Amino acid sequence: MVFSILSTKLFIPTFPPDVIQRPHLIEQVTAGLKAGHSLTLISAPAGYGKTTLVAEWISTSQEKVAWLSLDEQDNNELRFWKYFIAALQTASKTSGQKALQILESAQEKDYQVFLTELVNDITTLDHKVIVVLDDFHVISNQAIYEGLVFLLEHLPPSLHLFIATRADPRLPISRLRVRGKLTEIRIADLRFTSDETLEFLNNLMDLRLNASDIQALETRTEG
- Checking if the pLDDT of 204 tops 90, the result is no
What region does 180 belong to: left with phi over 0, alpha with psi -120 to 50, or beta?
left
Q: For residue range 170-192, what is the model confidence (pLDDT) as tens digits?
A: 999 999 999 999 999 999 999 87
In this structure, the strands spanning 39-43 and 182-185 are parallel
- What is the reported pLDDT for 67? 98
- What is the reported pLDDT for 77? 93
Q: Which amino acid is at 205?
A: M
Alpha helices in 8-161 (DSSP H): 23-34, 50-60, 77-91, 97-104, 111-123, 142-153
pLDDT: which is higher, 73 or 21: 73
Quote the percentage of the chain above a pLDDT of 90: 70
- What is the reported pLDDT for 15? 83
- What is the reported pLDDT for 222? 55
- Checking if the pLDDT of 72 tops 60, the result is yes
Helices vs strands, H then E, count in the chain: 10, 5
Confidence at 12, pLDDT banded by 50, 70, 90: very high
- What is the reported pLDDT for 39? 98
- What is the reported pLDDT for 192? 72
Report in angstroms the alpha-carbon separations of 121 from 98, 108, 146, 203, 210. 7, 18, 19, 48, 57
- Checking if the pLDDT of 207 tops 60, the result is no
What is the residue-averaged pLDDT of the chain? 88
Q: For residue range 138-175, what is the model confidence (pLDDT) as tens digits?
A: 999 999 999 999 999 999 999 999 999 999 999 999 99
Confidence at 104, pLDDT banded by 50, 70, 90: confident
